[in-house]
A and B are shown apart, each in its own frame.
Chain A
Amino acid sequence: MKQRWSGWALAAGALTISAAAFAAPPTPEMISFACAGCHGTNGGSAGLTMPSLAAQSKAAIVEAMKKFKSGERPSTVMGRLAKGYSDADFEAMGAFFSRQKIHFTNQTVDKAKAAKGADLQEANCSRCHLDDGKDGKDDTPVMASQWLEYLKMQAELYDSGKRKMPKDMAEKWNRLSKEDREALLHFYAGVSK
């Protein structure tokens, strides 16, 4: 690893230039910058079906990436990319995104549904989805201000059984009506401060 660049530098050095003879391993931010092509600068998503990664806890990112890599969590591109990274890379991504400020999408949601969802959150979800979903216990992801379309896609994956729901969540979620579930999604999507 120390001598990685020396051969090349010799070859090119003769031509013109002092290219960097040594390069350090990529920093957490440099590994994570590549994610922005799909997830937005510093993990703040502008794409309706893409989650924001900004402010997710390290544990949430690491757990999600491991599950994508193993195939336990269904995906399209994410699982394929996850195979190119190590657990240490996932830790680096987690460290980077957990340092970013939460990304508020300021999207329009159904106010009545969001108000109903606020009560449901308080009564059912707030033990793990802390602070209106802006924070999460352990590896619980940040839900606040995620795009409604993204949240709906995930709810469908859960309801179809393709994405496995944590046991604690299933106990609550399965008791909720279809309308209640939708109201919750509107609530999370609408959190804007």
Chain B
Amino acid sequence: MTLDRRNFIKLVGGASGLALAGCASQGPAVSAGSAAELMPKGTARRVVVVGGGYGGTIAAKYIRMLDPSIEVVLVERNKEFISCPFSNFYIAGLMNDMSSLTIRYDKLAANHGIKMVYAEVTAIDPAAKKVVTTQGTLAYDRLIVSPGIDFRTEEIEGYDAKTPEIFPHAWKAGPQSTLLRNQLQSMKDGGTVIISMPLTPYRCPPGPYERSCLIAHYLKKHKPKSKLILLDANPDVVSKKPLFTKAWSTYYKDNFQYIGGKKVTKVDVGAKLVSIEGIEDFKGDVINLIPAQRAGDIAVKAGLVGDDKKWCPVDAVSFQSTKHKDIHVIGDATALPSDGPPMPKSGYSANSQAKFCAQNVVNLMNGKEPVEFSGINVCYSAISDHESVSIASVFKVENGKIKSPATAISPADFSQAKMEHAYGESWLRNILTEMST
């Protein structure tokens, strides 16, 4: 579905880019992106933001709030954004649809004078300071890239373009979430569900564990003869361990099994099988395979990833890329210099980073001294249909590295779990409202 949509945009994108730009010298639509200049830059300084998720929307908005003399163009390939946080509720049948997770960009753009371009970015030219999109090229003074993640599927033998249609990752909310939900609902009672999660770092550290709780909750309620196995590539639980292990043993001990140190290296879609380093196989009726991750495709194409070829190294001040001048990267795609546990790849982290990126881009463009980072991450995870737990951290900078002076998880007796469930919902409303208005 994503591919269809992209192809569709590519197909019409080149042509409409031509019409919009009105550029006489432009040839026919190019599938890789249109060379026609879109929105020729006037006298105003311009920041282009690539990606309208948790990071990009906030960066675009706060630049306009902090310095309205700077023109901001937000490039996003979809007309709607669906939040990954809380999509596990939908997958596990605790939410009827994803409408409460979906935002549009119209109000954000109107309220703050952000110029929206609905197109896919196909290339970035740091020397010429322009991005190439399926609608045409855009010149920038500074570029903020908030590309999210894509998957290192090449590390799994037998994984091809069709694999996620059978073994959904559901790690980008949308059609993949629906596919996994439908598979769970049509599975016979007595079936086996497998969640395979990758080594860190990946998007949303507690996410797979939350998913295991909510799917186990679904099975317990609707398919009590079924079981769920969580295959963790990491040797042990990497997020909120005391809380998740307690939830599993308290609520789901009869239908759930956690197995650490199981990295899926091969798949057999026909046999509904995942293999662990040639040693053992696991067979499932529903297999939720979450592959290892890296920065979103455009960051790789644009050479923004570091020597590891996975994540984008940036400084901890303005999130400026160490690879290309005048380009900043925020959110899941980044590798930040850290002292101690890094900022998790989460929506809240992206939100916090976007604001400092925005402020310091504005400061840099105005010849002002940048300010030091001071941000927050809060991640709520549901452990059942009415209880949630959280991790909360403050992040500051010390000696050029991001460090947390305070990090703590919910009390292990679940005494706050009902209240935190309610707070989690408010968090979602507030952060999505912040992104869309």
| A residues lining the B interface (CB < 8 Å) | 4-5, 7-8, 12, 15-17, 19-20, 22-27, 30-31, 33-41, 45-50, 76-77, 80-81, 83-85, 89, 149, 153
Q: Do A48 and B426 have beta carbons less than 8 Å apart? A: yes
Distance (Å) between the CB of A88 and the closest chain B CB?
12
Which one of A4, A41, A76, A149 lies within 8 Å of B434 (CB-CB)?
Answer: A41
Residue B62 interfacial (CB < 8 Å): yes
Bound-state CA distance A80–B434 (Å) is 23
Residue B186 interfacial (CB < 8 Å): no
23 A-B pairs whose Cβ atoms sit less than 8 Å apart in the complex: A17-B321, A19-B320, A20-B317, A23-B369, A23-B397, A24-B369, A25-B372, A26-B372, A27-B371, A35-B376, A37-B376, A38-B427, A38-B430, A46-B433, A47-B425, A50-B427, A76-B416, A80-B408, A81-B378, A81-B393, A84-B393, A84-B405, A85-B394
Distance (Å) between the CB of A23 and the closest chain B CB?
4
Q: Do A83 and B369 have beta carbons less than 8 Å apart? A: no
Distance (Å) between the CB of A165 and the closest chain B CB?
19
Which one of B337, B370, B422 lies within 8 Å of A20 (CB-CB)?
Answer: B370
Give B404's nearest chain A residue, CB to CB: A84
Question: Which residues of B are found within 8 Å of A89, using beta-carbon distances?
Answer: 374
Bound-state CA distance A40–B437 (Å) is 10
Q: Do A30 and B359 have beta carbons less than 8 Å apart? A: yes
Bound-state CA distance A16–B325 (Å) is 7
Q: Do A37 and B372 have beta carbons less than 8 Å apart? A: no
Ordered nearest first, which 4 A-B pairs have the shortest CB separation?
A: A47-B426, A84-B394, A84-B406, A8-B400
Name the residue in A46, A77, A149 with the highest tally of chain B Cβ atoms < 10 Å from its Cβ. A77
Residue B348 interfacial (CB < 8 Å): yes
Which one of A23, A33, A45 lies within 8 Å of B370 (CB-CB)?
Answer: A23
Question: Which residues of B are found within 8 Å of A35, using beta-carbon distances?
Answer: 376
Distance (Å) between the CB of A74 and the closest chain B CB?
9
Within 8 A of A (CB), among B379-394: 390, 392-394
Bound-state CA distance A102–B351 (Å) is 23
Contacts A12-B315, A34-B355 known; A17 to B325 CB distance under 8 Å? Answer: yes
Bound-state CA distance A12–B321 (Å) is 10
Q: Do A15 and B322 have beta carbons less than 8 Å apart? A: yes
Question: Which residues of A are found within 8 Å of B321, using beta-carbon distances?
Answer: 16-17
| B residues lining the A interface (CB < 8 Å) | 61-62, 315, 317-318, 320-325, 337, 348, 351-352, 355-356, 359-360, 364, 369-376, 378, 390, 392-394, 396-400, 404-408, 410, 416, 419-420, 422-423, 425-431, 433-434, 437
Question: Which residues of A are found within 8 Å of B422, using beta-carbon distances?
Answer: 48-49, 149, 153
Give B417's nearest chain A residue, CB to CB: A76
Contacts A80-B392, A81-B406 known; A26 to B355 CB distance under 8 Å? Answer: no
Question: Which residues of B are found within 8 Å of A26, using beta-carbon distances?
Answer: 371-374
Q: Do A45 and B416 have beta carbons less than 8 Å apart? A: no
Name the residue in A5, A19, A38, A85 with the highest tally of chain B Cβ atoms < 10 Å from its Cβ. A38
Distance (Å) between the CB of A60 and the closest chain B CB?
20
Q: Do A47 and B390 have beta carbons less than 8 Å apart? A: no
Bound-state CA distance A182–B364 (Å) is 51
Question: Which residues of A are found within 8 Å of B419, using beta-carbon distances?
Answer: 76, 153
Bound-state CA distance A27–B359 (Å) is 10
Bound-state CA distance A27–B370 (Å) is 10
Distance (Å) between the CB of B380 and the closest chain A CB?
8
Give A25's nearest chain B residue, CB to CB: B372
Question: Which residues of A are found within 8 Å of B337, using beta-carbon distances?
Answer: 8
Total of A-B residue pairs, C-beta within 8 Å: 161
Give A78's nearest chain B residue, CB to CB: B392
Distance (Å) between the CB of B422 and the closest chain A CB?
5
Contacts A30-B374, A81-B406, A83-B406 known; A20 to B430 CB distance under 8 Å? Answer: no
Give A8's nearest chain B residue, CB to CB: B400
Question: Which residues of B are found within 8 Å of A40, using beta-carbon distances?
Answer: 430, 433-434
Question: Which residues of B are found within 8 Å of A80, using beta-carbon distances?
Answer: 392, 406-408
Bound-state CA distance A17–B376 (Å) is 27
Contacts A37-B427, A46-B430, A84-B406 known; A77 to B378 CB distance under 8 Å? Answer: yes
Give A51's nearest chain B residue, CB to CB: B426
Bound-state CA distance A36–B423 (Å) is 14
Give B411's nearest chain A residue, CB to CB: A76
Bound-state CA distance A38–B325 (Å) is 33
Question: Which residues of A are found within 8 Å of B407, using beta-carbon distances?
Answer: 80
Q: Do B371 and A23 have beta carbons less than 8 Å apart? A: yes
Question: Which residues of A are found within 8 Å of B433, using beta-carbon distances?
Answer: 40-41, 46
Bound-state CA distance A48–B351 (Å) is 21
Bound-state CA distance A83–B399 (Å) is 21
Q: Do A19 and B429 have beta carbons less than 8 Å apart? A: no
Give A5's nearest chain B residue, CB to CB: B400
Give B316's nearest chain A residue, CB to CB: A8
Question: Which residues of B are found within 8 Å of A25, using beta-carbon distances?
Answer: 371-372
- Apart from A22-B369, A83-B405, A153-B422, 9 more pairs, CB < 8 Å: A20-B318, A24-B370, A24-B372, A26-B374, A36-B434, A47-B429, A50-B426, A76-B419, A85-B394
Distance (Å) between the CB of A31 and the closest chain B CB?
5
Q: Do A77 and B437 have beta carbons less than 8 Å apart? A: no
Q: Do B423 and A16 have beta carbons less than 8 Å apart? A: no
Q: Do B400 and A4 have beta carbons less than 8 Å apart? A: yes
Bound-state CA distance A16–B320 (Å) is 11
Give B349's nearest chain A residue, CB to CB: A37
Distance (Å) between the CB of A148 and the closest chain B CB?
13
Which one of A24, A33, A50, A83 lies within 8 Å of B423 (CB-CB)?
Answer: A50
Give B399's nearest chain A residue, CB to CB: A4
Contacts A7-B400, A76-B419 known; A23 to B426 CB distance under 8 Å? Answer: no
